[in-house]
Amino acid sequence: MDEKKSLWIDGREVAIEGERNLLEVIRKAGIDIPTFCYHSELSIYGACRLCLVEIEGRGLVASCSIPPEAGIKVLTNTPNIRKIRRVNVELLLANHDQNCTTCPKTGSCQLQSLAKRMGIEKVRFHSTHPAGEKDCSSLALVRDPGKCVLCGDCVRFCSEVQSVGALDFAFRGSKAKVVPAFGKKLADVECINCGQCARVCPTGALVPRSEIEEVWKALDNPEKTVVVQMAPATRVSVGEYFGMEGGSITTGQIVAALKKLGFDKIYDTSFTADLTVIEEASEFIVRKTKGEKLPQFTSCCPGWVKFAEQYFPELLPNLSTCRSPQQMFGSLAKAVLPEMLKVDRKNLVVVSLMPCTAKKFEARRPEFVVNGEADVDFVLTAQELGRMVEQAGIRFKELKPESLDMPFGFKTGAGVIFGSSGGVTEAVLRFVSEKVTGVKLDSVDFLETRGEEGIREVEIALGDEKVKIAIVYGLANARKVAEAAKKGESPYALIEVMACPGGCVNGAGQPVTYNRETIRRRAESLYEVDKSLQLHKSQDNPYIVDTYKKFLGEVGGEKAHHLLHTHYYSRKRINDEGMVLVEGGENKKVEIGVCVGTNCYVKGSQDILRNLFHHIESRGLEAYVEAKAAFCFENCKSAPVVRVGDTLINDCTFEKACRALDAELARCGVTASKAE
């Protein structure tokens, strides 16, 4: 072996083959050097000091921040190294909330794993910091500062990969901590709920918010009919929770587990992914034909949608108006299933099984709440399903596969590949190509859409015209293409965006893994599922055709638009001119009073008030609007009654209240752009 291209690790010669640092060379040699703060997709930080090695003639160094050099001699397991690593872990444990038995990350916590690996049975040091208050404000995540080890993984991911910066270090020295901006709660900053901070967090300091107890209550209620939809990416990940190989396809076992848990019907989100393909692709064809509102951005990813609302409200007209497959299913289910299953709408509970934490936030958006009832009632991540299966004592690996329920359990391969970056684009192209050319596709694969790069450009011939398309994951990458589109410099007609690296297969709700090969295998398995199915194009799904015929009418028609499409709004809190002052320079608030007297309460006023609170907060209107409970407007026959400003609204709904609020804000000179 040429000495110029190799080094020595524990007496063995190892080739240098383009690795970024010494740590990667050591791991390639089969030695698992412990780390907290190192992720190959993030910048090198060198804070945890667990990856220490000894280089002959140089002493102890952090292997993550040293480039590999030819000829150096490295030791990875000396008595001194073991002692220092052990002390470092003990010091981390000393200031760590050690209630490990009740931690959601038990079993996948790196600190717990390292303590066991180092043989630590007692922590000799005393804590010097209070645990800190747990932050449960977010609909998607829970932040527990008492479990933070200051590794900075969440900070760097949010800044470097997502370009959001919702978390950062504050204070100095021994008082340093990771907090949201200005010490606010996570729900009060520009977090886009992607949860990737929780995915890379090595402890339980950031975890997905659990809705397990709420789902158990629904399942235990004999008056409720509980149905569940399964997202494409979960079928290739849930098995990992039970020790199966990464990317194992467990659709049938998941269905069997859900039935044992007590769900009445198990459907497939891939069904409404097929619907999304048809609606979104048809929308794209119309835009392309008219040359309007291009490039068209996809809108399946709620993390990306909130990012666009916060940072690129000028581009909101460019986002597809299609709801995500999750929300299409919820809307369709609440409209169709009550009659189909012979159940009252109020007793129908729709649960989603998702790979994503942002879906929890999406399900609570006011646009998807009708008369106080959410289209999707609860969202479980793949991790949460794993815990429910364990709680029920079900032996997952021993389950015999069972079938999904019809009609919403039938899907094509196009709906399944949605879970991988590039999958939405490929599914759309399978529709658009046939629609534009009028020629049936013999080969449905658009291999050029697949890949691992964060920004991929493809050029597709659609009839006589070539169309450029961008496929993007990671919101820092999305920011680049969005900036170009904002300036009118985008060469693309269609842009697919997913917040999570690699797509939904790498969502924060998936079983925890730090192995990139596992993520790659999940994506490959989705394409294997596609190949195993008989139909690969959404337009060929007979149950989709039947759904349009029976329930939706024409593609993009009035009813389809009502159930399957939505709108977005700016979430900018401060405009370029600063906060707008109204009525003589004073920020006088619009007052909303919602009667909670008996008649109004029985008819849903409490739900109206709750939704108004969320609506005001989500639009950043706190400085302009104050909503509160009122007792009686002496108009009980027309309950529920709501007062907006000086206007009394009888037989009020949440939608009526929102329209009245918009009108009152406009009268006061506060437009959406000014307020947000």
Higher pLDDT, 571 or 654: 654
Q: Check whether residue 118 and residue 35 sit in a common domain.
A: no
Predicted local confidence at residue 205, as pLDDT = 92
Q: How far apart are CA 541 and CA 414, in angstroms?
A: 10
Catalytic residue status for 453: no
Catalytic residue status for 339: no
Specify the CATH number for the domain of residue 222: 3.40.50.1780
H/E stretch holding 279: helix 269-290
Rounded to 5°, angle at Cα 148 from 129 and 25: 130
Token duo for residue 140: 């998607």
Confidence band for 671, pLDDT divided at 50, 70 and 90: low
Across the chain, mean pLDDT equals 89
Q: What is the DSSP string of 467-506?
A: EEEEEEESHHHHHHHHHHHHTT----SEEEEESSTTSGGG
Predicted local confidence at residue 142, as pLDDT = 96
Whether 197 has a pLDDT exceeding 90, the answer reads yes
Residues 6+ apart with CB under 8 A from 513: 240, 246, 519
Q: Check whether residue 44 and residue 153 sit in a common domain.
A: no
Q: How far apart are CA 16 and CA 25, in angstroms?
A: 7
Weakest mean pLDDT among 160-174, 262-276, 384-398, 412-426: 160-174
Residues 6+ apart with CB under 8 A from 146: 96, 97, 131, 132, 134, 205
Q: What is the DSSP string of 145-181?
A: GGG-----HHHHIIIIITS---EEEES-GGG-EEEEG
How far is residue 294 CA from its own chain's centroid? 25
Q: What is the mean pLDDT of residues 220-230?
A: 97
Predicted local confidence at residue 576, as pLDDT = 37
Q: Please check whether residue 576 lies inside any domain of the structure.
A: no
Catalytic residue status for 214: no
Q: How far apart are CA 435 and CA 429, in angstroms?
A: 9
Which of 192, 208, 224 terminates a domain? The answer is 208
Specify the CATH number for the domain of residue 184: 3.30.70.20
Which of 77, 111, 134 terminates a domain? The answer is 77
Q: Check whether residue 330 and residue 265 sit in a common domain.
A: yes
CB 98 within 8 Å of CB 127:
no
What's the half-sphere exposure (Cβ side, CA atoms, 13 Å) at 268?
31
Q: Check whether residue 447 and residue 480 sit in a common domain.
A: yes
Predicted local confidence at residue 116, as pLDDT = 84
Task: Pick the catalytic residue from 359, 360, 572, 674.
Answer: 359
Specify the CATH number for the domain of residue 40: 3.10.20.740
Q: What is the mean pLDDT of residues 173-200?
A: 91
Report long-range pairs for 285-292 (Cβ below 8 Å, ≥24 apart). Answer: 285/432, 285/435, 285/436, 286/556, 288/467, 288/493
What's the half-sphere exposure (Cβ side, CA atoms, 13 Å) at 363?
25
Whether 466 has a pLDDT exceeding 70, the answer reads yes
Token duo for residue 658: 């929102």
Whether 132 has a pLDDT exceeding 80, the answer reads no
Q: Please check whether residue 262 lies inside any domain of the structure.
A: yes
Q: Please check whether residue 571 lies inside any domain of the structure.
A: no
Among 48-52, 101-105, 553-557, the range with the most confident prediction by mean pLDDT is: 553-557
Q: Check whether residue 70 and residue 104 sit in a common domain.
A: no
Catalytic residue status for 504: yes
Q: Check whether residue 38 and residue 115 sit in a common domain.
A: no
CB 341 within 8 Å of CB 265:
yes
Whether 665 has a pLDDT exceeding 90, the answer reads no
Catalytic residue status for 674: no
Q: Which domain holds residue 23?
A: 3-77
Whether 215 has a pLDDT exceeding 60, the answer reads yes
Of 432, 506, 426, the C-alpha closest to 458 is 426
Q: How far apart are CA 455 and CA 91, in angstroms?
A: 41
Q: How far apart are CA 439 and CA 25, in angstroms?
A: 52
Q: What is the mean pLDDT of residues 85-111?
A: 81
CB 614 within 8 Å of CB 657:
no
Number of continuous H segments (helices) and E segments (strands) in the chain: 23, 23
Catalytic residue status for 359: yes
pLDDT in tens, 578-601: 333 333 334 468 889 998 887 788
pLDDT in tens, 262-299: 999 999 999 999 999 999 999 999 999 998 899 999 99
Predicted local confidence at residue 588, as pLDDT = 66
Task: Pick the catalytic residue from 24, 211, 240, 280.
Answer: 280
Residue 519: count of CB within 10 angstroms of its CB = 23
Token duo for residue 580: 């707008």
H/E stretch holding 630: strand 625-630
Q: How far apart are CA 7 and CA 386, in angstroms?
A: 44
Residues 6+ apart with CB under 8 A from 469: 425, 449, 457, 458, 459, 460, 492, 493, 494, 495, 496
Q: What is the DSSP string of 348-404?
A: EEEEEEES-SHHHHHHT-GGGEETTEESS-EEEEHHHHHHHHHHTT--GGGPPP-PP
Confidence band for 117, pLDDT divided at 50, 70 and 90: confident
Strands 141-143 and 52-55: unpaired
Q: Please check whether residue 485 lies inside any domain of the structure.
A: yes
CB 42 within 8 Å of CB 156:
yes
Q: How far apart are CA 462 and CA 611, in angstroms?
A: 45
Q: Check whether residue 244 and residue 302 sit in a common domain.
A: yes
Q: Please check whether residue 521 lies inside any domain of the structure.
A: yes
Q: Check whether residue 179 and residue 42 sit in a common domain.
A: no
Q: What is the mean pLDDT of residues 30-51?
A: 80
Which of 190, 208, 226 terminates a domain? The answer is 208
Q: Check whether residue 536 and residue 429 sit in a common domain.
A: yes
Predicted local confidence at residue 667, as pLDDT = 76
Whether 42 has a pLDDT exceeding 90, the answer reads no
- Which residue type, as a one-letter code, is found at position 388? M
Q: Please check whether residue 347 lies inside any domain of the structure.
A: yes
Task: Pick the catalytic residue from 151, 197, 300, 658.
Answer: 300
Q: Check whether residue 224 and residue 327 sit in a common domain.
A: yes
Predicted local confidence at residue 104, as pLDDT = 83
Specify the CATH number for the domain of residue 644: 3.40.30.10
Task: Pick the catalytic residue from 201, 504, 595, 652.
Answer: 504
Q: Check whether residue 646 and residue 619 sit in a common domain.
A: yes
Token duo for residue 566: 């939505």
Predicted local confidence at residue 586, as pLDDT = 41
- Which residue type, as a one-letter code, is found at position 278? I
Task: Pick the catalytic residue from 19, 367, 448, 622.
Answer: 367
Q: Please check whether residue 144 lies inside any domain of the structure.
A: yes
Q: What does DSSP assign to residue 565? A: B
Q: What is the mean pLDDT of residues 654-667?
A: 86
Weakest mean pLDDT among 57-66, 246-255, 659-668: 659-668
* Residue 223 burial (C-beta neighbours within 10 Å; 0-12, 13-18, 19+): exposed
Token duo for residue 478: 């999305």
Task: Pick the catalytic residue from 24, 211, 279, 283.
Answer: 283
pLDDT in tens, 234-265: 999 999 999 999 999 999 999 999 999 999 99
Confidence band for 502, pLDDT divided at 50, 70 and 90: very high
Q: Please check whether residue 573 lies inside any domain of the structure.
A: no
Residue 427: count of CB within 10 angstroms of its CB = 32
Higher pLDDT, 154 or 675: 154
Count of domains observed in the chain: 4
Q: Check whether residue 36 and residue 170 sit in a common domain.
A: no
pLDDT in tens, 65-78: 889 988 899 999 99
Token duo for residue 215: 């789902």
Q: How far apart are CA 573 and CA 315, in angstroms?
A: 17
Q: Is the dihedral of CA 64, 69, 72, 73 positive or negative?
A: positive
Task: Pick the catalytic residue from 24, 309, 362, 496.
Answer: 362
Of 325, 330, 324, 322, the C-alpha closest to 349 is 330
CB 339 within 8 Å of CB 217:
no
Whether 577 has a pLDDT exceeding 60, the answer reads no
